[in-house]
Amino acid sequence: MNRFFQTITALFLVLSVSAQDLAHKIPNDAFAVVNIRTDHFFKLMSVDDFDRSNIGKIIIEKSRQADLQEVNSIADFGIALDRPGYFYATLSDSIVYLSFLLPIADVEKVEAHFAKGETVSSHGKFRSFTKAATGDSVIFAWDETMLSITTPSLVDGYFLQDDVAERYGIRNYSYADYYNQPVDEEATDWGSVEWWADSVYADTAAWDEVAAVADSVYAEADSVAYEYDDYNDATLLGENQDEENLYDTYYAADQEIKRKLANEWGEAFVESQFNSVPVASVLTNRSYLSSVSKDALATLWIPSFEAIYTALLPELLDFGESGDLFSYYGSLQVGLFADKEGFKLRSQMELEDSMAKTFKRIYGRKLNRKFLKYINVDEAIGLFALSMDTRAYLEELPGLLKNTYANLFEQYKDDISLGADLVSLLLDEAAIAKTAKGDALFVLNGLAEQEVPYISYEYDEDYNYTEVEATKVETIPDFLLMFSSDDVSLYNRIMTYTTRKGYVTEDDGVYRLSQEDLPFELVFTRKNGVVFVGTSVEQLASIVAGSYQGKVDRQTRRLLTKNKFAGLLSARKLSKEVPTEQLVSLDRYIAFQKIFGSMGDFYFKSDGVKGNHISAEFVARTPQGYDNAIQYLFGLVDYALDQR
Amino acid sequence: MKMLTRDSQPLIKRLLPLLLLPLCVFFSSCFQLIEEITVNTDGSGNLALTANLSQSRSKLASVMLLDSVNGHKVPSKAEIRKEMEEVARTLRSVKGIKNVTHTADFDNYIFTVRFSFADVGNLNDITALIFDKLDVPMIDNSSYSYLPGGKAFIRNYMPDPRAKSEYQQLKEVDKAVFENATYTSIYRFDRTVAAQSNSRAKIAASKKAVMLQCGVRDLIEGKANISNHIQLAQ
């Protein structure tokens, strides 16, 4: 049952009677903090609406199945829904604490639901119980205002260190230890086994001789029960038939010591949550404060990007002696928003000065505005724009390689550094940048229908068959890719060469590449410093003739030109483009149109580096007819569940 | 016929990547399988198997550029050629089989295998061997026989319930591959056909051939019966 409540709390982490923000309980040096704004969530969707949604009904139904008859609403769990909850992690060399802090609205309800059937201990200011979960235990503790759900988890590597293990009486007994133990205890003449290495392989003895000796050794081994099959059979272990399997015994003893340590430390940690406040709480951290937004549904703050790697993959530290793995990156902030426009996922990462300078150089180019003339927003299903400076990228690349990989693979530091410099030496950055300056725009104009031939058979009256060419209609993508290029002579030389060789054909400046291996024809042209690669001969011909009529709205223009990366996809337009016959059944057609036909646009953007931050945003726009993104999402979920 | 019980991957799952069938996301696709057998009075004859995937040519051309589709590994052209050569080599090793030829047309995605046989019974040995080669478990559900004196040609076929069950377990995207696929069998004789027992089959104007067409999906699901007892004029 508690697993169920953990899931609910993780989803809807709610609030308390206390007016105080629970963030003041979170220490300044927390590894990660998630601020879950249930208050904002329930502003966008009322508790009543939530209860009436399919998700709300499922939660209430599951609660009743869990014998909680008095639960009729999400509000009945006793967790306050009008203030934020938190999840945070604190790390040390020996233990990780993962903790939810939830504000309480009605402590009696919390106790009735969360502590039902548990052995609750009272600790003065607060009460608690410990629930064994898979692997680690979970400590539930609460007072009148706050519920803490904490999982302490020991760091295994720490307890493998000899001095640490000795301090806590941990044996770290391994299978190898077990395997060798009887040798010492029985004082078997194990030297007779060493001939495997010494006399047989080293002396390259005849194979017959080896077999004979091997047999004799096995006979000796049997006497002290070294056969693998006997490993788990305690009765065969040595002379003492009652001797237990040492590995299992020692392992269980180690685990018991660790379990007690985790519980003891976990309880102390939880006690500190209720009985004291951190010397410096996370509320004193400016970086954290800047990540918090009252309009967000949830925000995640990780003070050090590097810490993600070192915490999750501590082995990486062994590679880099310098300890500078990703030290060029600072804090990471992610926020999930839901407003009238839609769902927004915003992320921002702090960069060290030199890295910020590098990225500023790389993203120093703006999108060629000539591209915009060749977009028709009424037709385009998707757009993707990139604006970077090829020359700056190539010049900065060796440094980036050295900074990241040379530190990660310390033993190859010199090789990587030399390799990076050689690449730099071999590349003519200026020439490459002249060919492709670094800005590009990809436009998915639609899915075109194309008649394609295939081989079928015709049967005569005697059933002799002959191959005939038939045709069928297939859907192929209709796209246009544009990139800026100043190197007209190289373009001309390539086109002249490929035309002469018969790879392409030219018609009024439009080159066509038809190849059996390609599902569609590719066409190329170049005009005013822009190279065009597309699938529509007509479109490229009109571009060359100067008769192409594009159309771009202000919103799309801003999205593409004000950002370094930007993309846009219209699910609604895409759903209209997919030919009906491709959606084999009517059911599939209806479901497809219902889900995708009403979806809003998706877009993502990154405006590159501002100050010392690089940021990105992904947005799923709310379609017309919904007040906000939450209501739209729940509408979609309701629809999907109703279709089951 | 010998019973092959080698049981590893299910039959359909093994055949799928080999036939290059996992083609696309949720769009249907097409292929044609043609089995043409010519039987002489003495029981010898020729067989031609054709797999025509040209209707899905452009999709296959795209698929061939990938390593895997829908979780199935896409074999390279070289691997397909090698597999076909292996099948041809196996055929040549069967007593009574000769003149084995095969073609692989990667422009149109049409694959053929042809050979001569000394006796209709050889076809049963071949079927068993090929299934064994493909590591596909096979039960005694299909056979060809030719009655002494050339009285009749008998094609026995019993749907394999495992094939149906495996087909039903396939993901929708993989099932779609079979949706419009067709199977055609043509049996030719040097004498006229007096009668045939399958209502789906038709006798040619010359009375010397019998043709049957059905959907591959119907075949897998056991909805189509391709067994036939063809009575030949004496």
pLDDT score of A97: 92
What is the rounded distance in angstroms from the CA atom of residue A77 to the CA atom of residue A142? 14
Predicted confidence band at A425 (pLDDT cuts at 50, 70, 90)?
confident
pLDDT score of A186: 42
In this structure, of A3-7, A66-70, A229-233, A476-480, the range with the lowest mean pLDDT score is A229-233
Residue A502 has pLDDT above 50, yes or no: yes
Quick check: B55 and A454 CB within 8 A? yes
In this structure, of A307-316, A446-455, B102-111, the range with the lowest mean pLDDT score is A307-316
* Strand runs labelled E in B40-196: 45-52, 68-69, 72-73, 97-105, 110-117, 142-146, 152-157, 182-189, 193-196
Top residue of B58, B77, B230 to mutate, by most chain A CBs within 10 Å, is B58
Residue B205 has pLDDT above 70, yes or no: yes
Predicted confidence band at B13 (pLDDT cuts at 50, 70, 90)?
very low
pLDDT score of A12: 42
What is the rounded distance in angstroms from the CA atom of residue A75 to the CA atom of residue A111? 14
The contacts of residue A464 (CB under 8 Å, 6+ apart) are none
Residue B29 has pLDDT above 80, yes or no: no
Q: Which residue stretches of A100-174 are H helix?
A: 107-114, 156-159, 162-168
The model's pLDDT over A9-45, given as tens digits with 9 standing for 90+, comes to 444 433 333 346 899 899 988 889 999 898 888 888 8
Residue A201 has pLDDT above 70, yes or no: no
Quick check: B108 and A455 CB within 8 A? yes
Give whichever of A502-516, B5-19, B57-71 has the largest mean pLDDT: A502-516
Residue A229 has pLDDT above 50, yes or no: no
- CA R_g for chain A: 34
Section A170-191 average pLDDT: 57
How is residue A280 written in tokens?
């410096």
Section B106-115 average pLDDT: 89
Name residue A130's amino acid.
Answer: T
Nearest chain A residue to B204 by CA distance is A462
pLDDT score of A417: 76
**Nearest alpha-carbon partner for A254 in A133, A131, A154:** A154
The contacts of residue A121 (CB under 8 Å, 6+ apart) are A127, A128, A129
What is the rounded distance in angstroms from the CA atom of residue A317 to the CA atom of residue A303? 18
Residue A142 has pLDDT above 50, yes or no: yes
The model's pLDDT over A329-365, given as tens digits with 9 standing for 90+, comes to 888 999 999 887 888 899 999 988 888 999 999 998 8
* Strand runs labelled E in chain B: 32-39, 45-52, 68-69, 72-73, 97-105, 110-117, 142-146, 152-157, 182-189, 193-196, 202-203, 209-215, 228-232
Quick check: B28 and A476 CB within 8 A? no
Residue A2 has pLDDT above 60, yes or no: no
Predicted confidence band at A277 (pLDDT cuts at 50, 70, 90)?
confident
Residue B20 has pLDDT above 50, yes or no: no
Enumerate the residues of chain B whose CB falls inside 8 A of the CB of residue A475: 27
**Nearest alpha-carbon partner for A512 in A540, A531, A484:** A540
pLDDT score of A60: 85
Quick check: A456 and B34 CB within 8 A? no
Distance from CA of B135 to the nearest CA of A (A): 31
pLDDT score of A225: 32
In percent, how much of chain A has pLDDT > 90? 24
Distance from CA of A604 to the nearest CA of B (A): 25
What is the rounded distance in angstroms from the CA atom of residue B197 to the CA atom of residue B209? 14
Nearest neighbour of A461 by CB, restricted to B27, B188, B204: B204
- Burial grade of A584 (CB within 10 A; 0-12, 13-18, 19 or more): middle
The contacts of residue A305 (CB under 8 Å, 6+ apart) are A326, A329, A330, A331, A332, A349, A350
Residue A233 has pLDDT above 50, yes or no: no
- What ipTM goes with this model? 0.79
What is the rounded distance in angstroms from the CA atom of residue A484 to the CA atom of residue A559? 19
Q: Is the dihedral of CA A68, A73, A78, A83 positive or negative?
A: positive
A452 reaches B (C-beta below 8 A): yes
Half-sphere exposure of A469 (CA within 13 A, CB side): 4
**Nearest alpha-carbon partner for A306 in A292, A298, A316, A318:** A316
Residue scoring higher pLDDT (A41 or A449):
A41
Quick check: A462 and B204 CB within 8 A? yes
A459 reaches B (C-beta below 8 A): yes
In percent, how much of chain A has pLDDT > 70? 77
What is the rounded distance in angstroms from the CA atom of residue A349 to the CA atom of residue A614? 5
Give whichever of A133-142, A274-283, A538-547, B85-94 has the largest mean pLDDT: A538-547
Section B160-189 average pLDDT: 82
Name residue A220's amino acid.
Answer: E
**Nearest alpha-carbon partner for A603 in A284, A384, A323:** A384
pLDDT score of A635: 76
Mean residue pLDDT of chain A comes to: 78
Distance from CA of A208 to the nearest CA of B (A): 37
How is residue A242 written in tokens?
């009652």
Query: If you search the block for the tokens 């279709």, which residue do you land on?
Result: A643
The domain locations on chain A are 2-53+62-158+264-288, 162-251
In this structure, of A189-198, A542-551, A552-561, the range with the lowest mean pLDDT score is A189-198
Predicted confidence band at A230 (pLDDT cuts at 50, 70, 90)?
very low
- Burial grade of A233 (CB within 10 A; 0-12, 13-18, 19 or more): exposed
Which letter, b or e, does each residue of A247-264 get, where b requires 16 or more Cβ atoms within 10 Å of its Cβ? beebbeebeebeeebbee
Nearest chain B residue to A462 by CA distance is B204
Quick check: B34 and A455 CB within 8 A? no
In this structure, of A447-461, B92-106, B135-149, the range with the lowest mean pLDDT score is B135-149
Quick check: B26 and A588 CB within 8 A? yes
Residue A606 has pLDDT above 60, yes or no: yes
pLDDT score of A57: 87
In this structure, of A195-199, A461-465, A550-554, the range with the lowest mean pLDDT score is A195-199
Section A187-198 average pLDDT: 36
How is residue A151 written in tokens?
């999982």
- Which residues, in sequence order, are bridge partners of residue A34? A87, A300
What is the rounded distance in angstroms from the CA atom of residue A242 to the CA atom of residue A230? 14
Quick check: B28 and A584 CB within 8 A? yes
Section A468-472 average pLDDT: 87
pLDDT score of A517: 63
Nearest neighbour of A519 by CB, restricted to B28, B62, B108: B62
Residue B2 has pLDDT above 60, yes or no: no
Section A481-485 average pLDDT: 92
Residue A242 has pLDDT above 50, yes or no: no
What is the rounded distance in angstroms from the CA atom of residue B76 to the CA atom of residue A126? 67
In this structure, of A228-242, A317-331, B210-224, the range with the lowest mean pLDDT score is A228-242
Quick check: B52 and A455 CB within 8 A? yes
Query: If you search the block for the tokens 């084995």, which residue do you land on?
Result: B100
Residue A59 has pLDDT above 80, yes or no: yes
Distances (CA, A) of A344 to A33, A605, A619, A620, A636: 19, 11, 4, 7, 17
The model's pLDDT over A316-326, given as tens digits with 9 standing for 90+, comes to 555 555 555 66
Mean residue pLDDT of chain B comes to: 79
In percent, how much of chain B has pLDDT > 70? 81
